[in-house]
Amino acid sequence: MKLVFLGPPGAGKGTLAADAAVDLKLSHISTGEIFREAVRAGTPLGLKVKSILDSGGLVSDYLTVELVKERLAQPDVSGGWILDGFPRTIPQAEALEIFNPPERVVNFDVTDELIIARLAGRRTCPSCKRIYHVTNMPPKKDGVCDACGAVLVIREDDSESSVRHRLVTYRRQTAPLIGFYEVKGRVLTIDAAGSPSVVYEGFRKALR
C-alpha cells in the first residue's frame, strides 16, 4: 500500500502514521523528520534548510523531490509506505506521479483552533521521535520519553510566528493538492478532531 498523509501542521499526521505504519507494516517516511534530523546532525543539508524550517517556510521542490525519490528507491520501503508531509506543492505531486504514484491520499480534516492547541502543547522525543502532548497525550513522567528515557523537547517551528506562517503556507501551497488528487479519485477525508483512537478507527474504516 502506498499512502500520502495530507493535512495542516499539527493535524496529527505523524501521530497516526506511527501507529498505522506498525499495524499495516508500512515504512513511515516523514520529510519534516528527515530535515530535522539533518539539522540536528549539522549535515550540509541541515545547514541549508535550518532557517527555512525555523521560519515555517518550505524547502525547495527540487531538493525535496530528489530526497524522496532517493528514499523511495531504497529496498526497505518496497513493502509499501506512508509519506507524511510529502508532497506539499503541486510540482512535488506532479513529480511523485512520475516516479512513484500513491494509491490513496488521506486528507486530515481539523479546525485551526484545534491545530493551535495541539501545537502549543506538543513535545517530541529527539531520540526515538515519539510524539506527546502535555495534556492530550502526556508522558508517564513529566518531560521524559516513556519509550527511551530521553528529555522531551519543543520543536523550534512550534513558535507562534512559525505556526502562523506554516498555516498560511499550507493553505496557499498544500491545500490545492486535495483537488489535484480528488480528480484522480484517490482522496479519503478523515475527521481528525477526535482522540487518537477515534481518529485511528476512522482511518481504518476509510481504508476499507
Catalytic amino acids? 13, 88, 122, 155, 166
Considering only residues 87-146, where is the footprint of ligand AP5 by CB under 6 A?
87-88, 92, 118, 121-122, 131-133, 136-137
CA 59, 119, 15, 114: dihedral to nearest 10 degrees? Answer: -120
DSSP state of 144: B
Q: Which residues pair with 133 in a beta bridge?
A: 122, 137
Q: Tell me which H or E stretch contains 83.
A: strand 81-84
8 Å CB contact between 144 and 150: yes
Stretch that binds ligand AP5, among 19-27, 51-59, 94-102, 146-154 (CB under 6 A): 51-59
Binding test (CB under 6 A) with ligand AP5, winner from 3, 21, 28, 85: 85
Closest CB to ligand AP5: residue number: 32
Give the nearer residue to ligand AP5 in terms of CB position, either 104 or 125: 125
Its sign, for the CA torsion 122, 81, 126, 147, is positive
Binding test (CB under 6 A) with ligand AP5, winner from 14, 21, 104, 152: 14
What's at 155, amino acid-wise? Answer: R
Copy the grid coordinates of residue 126: 529527539
Positions that interact with ligand AP5 (CB under 6 A): 7, 9-15, 30-32, 35, 52-53, 56-59, 64, 85-88, 92, 118, 121-122, 131-133, 136-137, 157, 166, 195-196, 199
